[in-house]
């Protein structure tokens, strides 16, 4: 019952935020801005998003190997695509992560190793996003003239950096209690895996580069969409605006980020001196691009052997 109420609350949050973001939107004018050239740019956005997901699968494969759950690139890509479908149908990205975990565990990795791989993958993604925002922060503060917008950006970035920093040093803290409590014991193990990957001379540079590129590709998707509707937002501006919005949409308070993303994008465009309506339009089409990707992931799920075998071989909960 609690899960149903929680999901219902997220649906209401998405609906409310979408209403406030779209109450002044002119969909007729938006449709009039889409022509044959626009379809080419939107197709490019879908292609970039697919490449982004491929890179995400490549990173997860490396993390999975380090977590004790060896995973070939083919299954990693397939599970990630299936996860993208469940991202669109379940609250935030939690549904997709849970599905990747379930698929990997059923493939023989075990519940614990699969959980570690997905959690570390999500944590490294968050740390890379915070790092990207930090790199572009001097230019972002110049772009955003509104004082409230600047304060909000700084608070958001401080929270992300703080959470990422604490996670990375957790395994170094001299508290034996951390390894005795159930929750902190697993966080401690995940912290050790993430630190080993990020601070290794062999895997660290590659892991950092691919993680930053994954987030930059989300910005390229938004830029392709802006070009499709002739919105006056160039790529450098979007590099400064899109990553903080992606960070906000990671908060699991809506369905697939709908509503939160539109409200945030409209607000960010306004703070940057751009048309808030263009921001909402870009956000809607951004969501539509990933909805299409999720649809492809849904087809992969329907045709997969994992769906046919669903329900067999229950997964054991780790101690």
Distance from C-alpha of 252 to C-alpha of 94, rounded to nearest angstrom: 7
What's the pLDDT score for residue 318?
45
Predicted confidence at residue 314, as pLDDT, reads: 45
Please give the share of the chain, as a percent, with pLDDT higher than 70.
Answer: 81
Judged against a pLDDT cut of 80, whether residue 312 lies above it is answered with: no
Region 39-63: mean pLDDT is 96
In this prediction, residue 260 has a pLDDT band, given cuts at 50, 70 and 90, of confident
Mean pLDDT for all residues in the chain? 84
Write down the residue that tokens 């909960």 correspond to.
Answer: 317
DSSP annotation of 171: G
The secondary structure of 10-38 as a DSSP string is: HHHHHHHHHHHHHTT--HHHHHHT--HHH
Which residues lie below 8 Å from residue 99, measured CB to CB, with a gap of 6+? 79, 82, 83, 86
91, β-bridge pairs: 255
State the pTM of this model.
Answer: 0.85
């Amino acid at each position: 019952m609690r899960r149903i109420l929680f999901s219902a609350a997220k649906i209401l949050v998405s609906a409310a935020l979408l209403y406030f973001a779209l109450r002044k939107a002119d969909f007729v004018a938006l449709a009039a801005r889409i022509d044959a050239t626009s379809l080419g740019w939107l197709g490019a956005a879908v292609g970039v998003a697919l490449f982004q997901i491929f890179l995400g699968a490549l990173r997860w494969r490396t993390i999975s190997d380090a977590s004790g759950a060896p995973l070939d690139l083919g299954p990693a890509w397939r599970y990630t695509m299936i996860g993208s479908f469940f991202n669109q149908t379940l609250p935030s990205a939690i549904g997709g992560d849970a599905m990747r975990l379930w698929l990997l565990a059923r493939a023989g990795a075990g519940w614990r190793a699969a959980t570690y791989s997905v959690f570390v993958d999500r944590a490294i993604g968050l740390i890379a996003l915070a790092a990207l925002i930090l790199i572009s922060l001097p230019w972002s503060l110049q772009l955003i003239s509104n004082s409230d917008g600047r304060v909000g950006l700084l608070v958001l970035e401080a929270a992300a950096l703080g959470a990422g920093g604490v996670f990375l040093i957790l395994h170094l803290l001299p508290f034996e209690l951390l390894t005795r409590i159930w929750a902190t014991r697993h966080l401690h193990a995940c912290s050790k895996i993430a630190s080993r990957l990020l601070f290794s001379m062999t895997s660290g540079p590659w892991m950092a580069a691919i993680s930053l590129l994954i987030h930059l590709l989300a910005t390229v998707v938004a830029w392709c969409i802006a070009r499709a509707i002739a919105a006056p937002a160039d790529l450098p501006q979007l590099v400064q605006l899109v990553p903080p919005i992606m960070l906000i949409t990671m908060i699991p308070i809506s369905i697939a980020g709908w509503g939160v993303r539109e409200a945030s994008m409209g607000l960010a465009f306004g703070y940057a001196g751009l048309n808030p309506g263009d921001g909402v339009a870009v956000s809607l089409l951004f969501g539509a691009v990933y909805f299409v990707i999720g649809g492809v992931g849904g087809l992969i799920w329907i045709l997969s052997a994992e769906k046919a075998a669903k329900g067999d071989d229950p997964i054991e909960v780790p101690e």
